[in-house]
Amino acid sequence: MGSKSIKLQVPHLFREIFETAVVFLYPANCRVCETSLEVTSLPYICVTCWQDIQFLEPPWCDICGTPNVKGLCDECAVSPPPYGKLRSIALYQTTIQQAIHLFKFEKKRILAQHLIQLINAHIPVDCAITEYDFILPVPIHKRRLWGRGFNQSTLLAKGIAQAAGVPILTDALVRHRHTVAQSSLGIEARQRNIIDAFKIRKPNVIRDKRILIIDDIITTGFTVCEVVNELWKADPAEIDVLTLARTLQG
Ligand SMILES: [Zn+2]
Ligand SMILES: [Zn+2]
């Protein structure tokens, strides 16, 4: 088992070394502010832009985490979502938006480690990771996994799980229906697109457990709610959600 997992890691390691070498030899411009990158800065984004991230702070809605709300937001007061609470690290804008794009769509895995450090340094005060039995990244369909080469939420979840010493669950829930990318659709189509996309494979592992779902970004919340609704079928004790970024309408 050990040698098998090492073999699987090697191509990724070469890729990261290659990416580092390219960035070091040809330091281009910052992808956010377009100033020249120093050779000592992190790849693709300058130090100033990394320091410009808008991290979220309380007060926020007790349930959905909408910023600048005390108690419950109007929507949660009328029709609460299926999870216990949802928290996010930062607003989805400028640096975080570009970093997620580079990482997820341009496959710059080299940024994952820095994003994980940002998350672990800014875990919300009311979201203690060690209180969960499992961390569960939102699954992607195997066809998308083949295309992208990795699940961005799994990479982030592994970094969070490792730092907190909490096990990660990657095979208890699958995305059994291939869907077009949510980001390519309008709001109504997104909801239809994601219905019944997930399926529990290991209900016994989930039963009576406290689960923290990890995703890179929350926009409408349809995907996460679909995951949560499927997980409830296995009677877990608690389901909360943590995302790296959120849009303001999320
Ligand atoms: Zn910059
Ligand atoms: Zn709310």
For residue 149, what are the domain limits? 54-96+122-246
Work out whether the CA dihedral 29, 182, 8, 231 comes out positive or negative: positive
pLDDT at res. 37:
86
pLDDT at res. 114:
93
pLDDT at res. 40:
74
Closest C-alpha to 246, from 61, 50, 4: 61
Q: By the 8 A CB rule, do 90 and 55 touch?
A: yes
Q: Kindly state whether residue 108 falls inside one of the protein's structural domains.
A: no
Q: Kindly state whether residue 134 falls inside one of the protein's structural domains.
A: yes
| Residue 167 CA neighbour count, 13 Å, CB half | 10
pLDDT at res. 53:
95
SS3 state at 188: helix
Per-residue pLDDT 10s for the chain (250 aa) are 444 444 455 667 777 777 666 666 656 899 999 998 887 778 899 999 999 999 999 999 999 999 999 999 999 999 999 999 999 999 999 999 999 999 999 998 889 999 999 999 999 999 999 999 999 999 999 998 998 899 999 999 999 999 999 999 999 999 987 877 877 778 778 877 778 889 999 999 999 999 999 999 999 899 999 999 999 999 999 999 999 999 986 4
Provide the number of structural domains found in the chain. 1
pLDDT at res. 1:
41
pLDDT at res. 5:
46
Distance 36 CA to ligand 1 centre (A): 8
Q: Kindly state whether residue 28 falls inside one of the protein's structural domains.
A: no
Q: Kindly state whether residue 204 falls inside one of the protein's structural domains.
A: yes
Residue 221 CA, distance from chain mean position: 13
Contacts of 30 (CB under 8 A, 6+ apart): 36, 37, 44, 45, 46, 49
Q: Kindly state whether residue 5 falls inside one of the protein's structural domains.
A: no
CATH number reported for the structural domain that contains residue 183 in this entry: 3.40.50
Distance 9 CA to ligand 1 centre (A): 31
What type of residue is 184?
S
Closest C-alpha to 95, from 34, 31, 152: 31
Closest C-alpha to 89, from 250, 245, 249: 245
> Relative to the alpha carbon of 246, which ligand is closest?
2
pLDDT at res. 182:
77
> Relative to the alpha carbon of 52, which ligand is closest?
1
pLDDT at res. 177:
79
Distance 72 CA to ligand 2 centre (A): 5
Q: By the 8 A CB rule, do 219 and 250 touch?
A: yes
d(CA 57, CA 74): 19
**242: buried, middle or exposed (CB in 10 Å: 19+, 13-18, 0-12)?**
buried
